[in-house]
Structure 1
Amino acid sequence: MSVRVADLVNDDASLISRRCWADQQVYELEKRGIFGRAWLFLGHESQIREPGDFVQAYMCETPVILARGGDGGIHASINSCTHRGLPVCRASHGNTRRFVCPYHSWSYTVEGDLVTIPQESEVRCKPDKSALGLKRVPRVESWRGLVFGSFDEAIIPLEDYLGDMRFYLDAFFGRFPGGIEFLGAPHRWVMDANWKLPVENQLGDVNHGAFLHAAIIPREIQQQIEAIGYSAVTAPGHGATFRLMPEDAPVDEVAWGMEGMGAILGTDEVRQYLRDVQAQAAERVGDLRARMKGLTYGIYPNLSFLWSNTSFKVSHPRGPGKVEYWSWAVVPADAPDTIKQTLRRNYSSFFGPGGILEQEDSEVWVQQYRGASIDFADDRPFFYGLGLGEEAGHPQLPGLVSVTANEFYARHFFRRWRDDLQSVEGGQ
């Protein structure tokens, strides 16, 4: 049965068809209408500090090499030899002068230029190597060290794409004089789930915590989130969920990192470091953002950030029913190494692949995909109408703002999703 996008998401996005999650035709539209046109996260500059450094990335299902060139610039190339299509880079990260295809040993610079064809010495007609380099990602830009690429040459600049989401991101990034760094290679695991549910979960769904994660998250924390928590949507698909702590809240209740295992089980040195960071927060990011205690952030279409557990995550589609999830630990770049390692325990304990909360989330994402795929339920769409129309502007916070139980972050995501798919529907 063919798909008509208008039938999948109703006008106010309060009803979402199960086919949005489980249909191959929908997925093909997503590849062209979303992943072929959006800014997609590739990595962080801390991963490629020196000339020749590289990491592998994906743009949807397209493998990409992100590298620091000899010129000091950042380059992104599709990891596919122009001769027979094999990957020319097989390591997940490292440092090199050349990428070499294993089939016929064609070799490329880290910038993607073809430099050697061993077989050309045996023929009279010499190919033009300058026209046979790796296909480049046409747009690559960086903001606060976060590197994005896009297949759309005409896409708006990255800063404009992020827009007011930068206000919320800088509430975290701006706290650290040396910025942040990604600590080590990403964890990667594959789930039988649709890529959109992890994104939705971490775009603003913080109200499942006291239920799904009841063994770890006490009801008192959920009550605090309900009392002083906000969700904000700066543009459809971008969102931030956070607590705005009272002005007289004790420093240990406001400071980033204090609620994590790294601080709870760490040393006095770690806890004092976190207090020192908070002591400078108002000067660095302003009084309002110094009181922000972030929860979950999202950047359209598939980048997530967990503030409390300092993790960036990308939901890489591998079809409508499979997702490869990548997750990095994030630490302040100028923190002492001992503190970085202690803080990483917070991430590993909760949101690494073996983390207590991550395992519970992963299980429900798999179960949701099964629920979207069962027979004889197509006439019962999923309900996304909690808090319908309650979001509004805020005098101090950019975007539309509401309580965390309002599902408007997901409704706005699906309205943008619907528009993107309609833009390529019918082969446009």
Structure 2
Amino acid sequence: MNSNSEASKSNAERLIDELDKGVGYGSVPAAIFGNDDLYKEELNKVFGRCWVFLAHDSEIPAPGDYVVRKIGEDDFIVVRDEDGKINVMLDACRHRGVQVCRSTSGNTSHFRCPYHGWTYNTKGALVGAPLWKNALEGTAKEDNGLAHAPRVELLHGLIYASLDASAPPLREYLGGMAWYLDLLFGLNEHGVEVLGPPQRFVFDADWKSGSENFAGDDYHLGTLHRSVFEIGSFPVSFAENMKGYHIQASPGHSLSFSMANSVDEPGPKFLGFPEALAASFNTARISAEQLEVARRARVFVGNVFPNCAILALPVTEDGSKHAPTAALTVRLFQPKGPGKVEFWNWFFGYKNMTPEQKERAYTAGLGTFSLSGVFEMDDTEPWTTISRSGNSVAIDKLGFKLNYKMGTPGIGIAEPVRENWPGPGEVYRTRYEEGVQRNMYRFYADMMKAAPGEWPSFEMDAGRSTALRKDADAKAPSAAEALEK
């Protein structure tokens, strides 16, 4: 490309080019966090196209039940109509674009615009307006309904939507990540339900910081969350917790398991769920291999690109009074402007849990992973400074790059697992590596560079970034070799 073409590129395009060229080798431009120009492109090319988590169907169990959620910065009504179908509709009247839903949740038979009174049913159809004969006779009502998200699908009751009609089916988009979501949400035939409305709070950070953290940043646990181990909020030592695997399940989607080497090792099993509940976990909806992985698992933490984080682990808000129990959370890092994010946090339980088990799980989760929880108070401080640095003049002038090299050839002790792992994806032992973050940013760069209607491959063995991965794997030292170095 000639120098004139390079000079004509926007700041956002140059940043994505830098990321695209360097991420396979662990080099990430710091300016991708909090950059104003890049943020506008993300709303269009990431949130305007990818599958985005909105709600769980247990939040809207009855006809007329609705919640208002976001895709990017846009409000959408998620409502169950009188036929039981779930509709996802832009919260904007067809007449003047006025917001028609004025509550974040509730039950209704219709939505009425406060400006001119245009009224829509729960299917989004325009059913009337004041003085119709005088003002609007001859208008085709069927052409003036609320705008629907073109793609809506459910997975274990999790409601996802995409604004891109060309988006692949949800399971294809998830690729290997679907295997792990099936494992967690399908442990028994009863399924899961929300234990309360989502918590929400806003803080100054870039949405990508939260997403990459939940893709599998375990390295920070021994420093930022050291107090959690010291006060007994988590029942495993830091060293034991780092045993396990990082998994690039499919392009963009990554997760991390803290896991015992065998079911005979001491410590929590089945992510810390009570033994009486774990007795109901079975292979009615999952495979024997998935059940075995869950049996050995201590922590499940993952991110469905772009911004849907999922976590299951044993915790307690007060170790002197309560033994740890499993908390299962789904959380969103909702973009709310450059360098600003709204955190949404749901707690889930399996439907066949007793009321006491649900209360204990909810309370333990609130004391650890919530606005007042120790983990959130720890995490939000460094995330705030990351976006502050990313949007600084000095970062831009210096071309400052961040180090995401852990687990690349010769760096660290992580080694690829070639055999004896039953699930999909590229798997690494131990949890000291950053391939899961590199996987997220490779896909992010692909989405930011993709033309309208074009999609990156969802297979781990396809695409230009695979060459970098295979090259890295071929040269990667064993754990013993790395330790010798």
Give the structure-1-normalised TM-score. Answer: 0.90
Contact preservation (8 Å) 1:22, 1:373: yes
1:280 shift after superposition: 4.3
1:69 shift after superposition: 1.1
User: What does residue 232 of structure 1 align with?
Assistant: 247
1:277 shift after superposition: 2.7
Contact preservation (8 Å) 2:271, 2:300: no
1:161 shift after superposition: 1.5
1:198 shift after superposition: 0.5
Contact preservation (8 Å) 1:187, 1:352: yes
Q: Distance in 2 between matches of 1:294 and 1:355?
A: 18
Ranges in structure 2 where 5+ consecutive residues have no aligned partner: 1-9, 314-326, 456-485
Give 2:278's aligned amino acid: Q
Contact preservation (8 Å) 1:298, 1:304: yes
Please point out which of 300, 305, 316 is paired with 1:300: 305
Relative to 1, partners in 2 of residues 1:394 and 1:89: Cα closer, same or farther, differing over 3 Å?
Answer: farther
Give CA deviations for 1:212-231 in whole Å, capped at 9, x if unaligned: 111112496220122x2211
Please give the secondary structure, in 1, of the residue aligned with 2:164.
coil
Please give the secondary structure, in 2, of the residue aligned with 1:304.
strand
Give CA deviations for 1:145-179 in whole Å, capped at 9, x if unaligned: 11110111121111121222122222222223311
Relative to 1, partners in 2 of residues 1:334 and 1:251: Cα closer, same or farther, differing over 3 Å?
Answer: farther
Please point out which of 239, 261, 269 is paired with 1:223: 239
Give 2:340's aligned amino acid: K
Give CA deviations for 1:347-368 in whole Å, capped at 9, x if unaligned: 1011111111111111221121
Where do residues 1-400 of structure 1 align in structure 2 (5 Å cutoff)?
2-3=11-12, 4=14, 5-11=16-22, 12=24, 14-123=26-135, 125-218=137-230, 221-226=237-242, 228-249=243-264, 253-257=268-272, 274-281=274-281, 283=283, 285-286=287-288, 287-308=292-313, 309-378=327-396, 379-389=399-409, 392-395=416-419, 396=421, 397-400=423-426
Contact preservation (8 Å) 2:241, 2:259: no
Contact preservation (8 Å) 2:207, 2:333: yes
Contact preservation (8 Å) 2:309, 2:331: yes
Deviating more after overlay: 282-291 vs 147-156: 282-291
Give CA deviations for 1:309-365 in whole Å, capped at 9, x if unaligned: 311001111122111111101111122223211210121011111111111111221
Q: Distance in 2 between matches of 1:99 and 1:64?
A: 13
Please give the secondary structure, in 1, of the residue aligned with 2:95.
coil
Report the identity percentage. 30
1:282 shift after superposition: 6.0
Give 1:6's aligned amino acid: D
Please give the secondary structure, in 1, of the residue aligned with 2:357.
helix
Q: Distance in 2 between matches of 1:248 and 1:231?
A: 19
- RMSD over equivalenced CA pairs, Å: 2.1
Contact preservation (8 Å) 1:113, 1:133: yes
Contact preservation (8 Å) 2:254, 2:440: no
Give CA deviations for 1:5-31 in whole Å, capped at 9, x if unaligned: 212443415111122112222112212
Please give the secondary structure, in 2, of the residue aligned with 1:313.
strand
Please give the secondary structure, in 2, of the residue aligned with 1:111.
coil
Relative to 1, partners in 2 of residues 1:190 and 1:10: Cα closer, same or farther, differing over 3 Å?
Answer: same
1:122 shift after superposition: 2.5
1:110 shift after superposition: 1.1
Contact preservation (8 Å) 1:204, 1:241: yes
Relative to 1, partners in 2 of residues 1:282 and 1:66: Cα closer, same or farther, differing over 3 Å?
Answer: closer
Q: How many residues align?
A: 410
Deviating more after overlay: 285-294 vs 34-43: 285-294
Q: Distance in 1 between matches of 2:266 and 2:229?
A: 21
Please give the secondary structure, in 2, of the residue aligned with 1:99.
strand
Contact preservation (8 Å) 1:297, 1:307: no
Ranges in structure 1 where 5+ consecutive residues have no aligned partner: 259-273
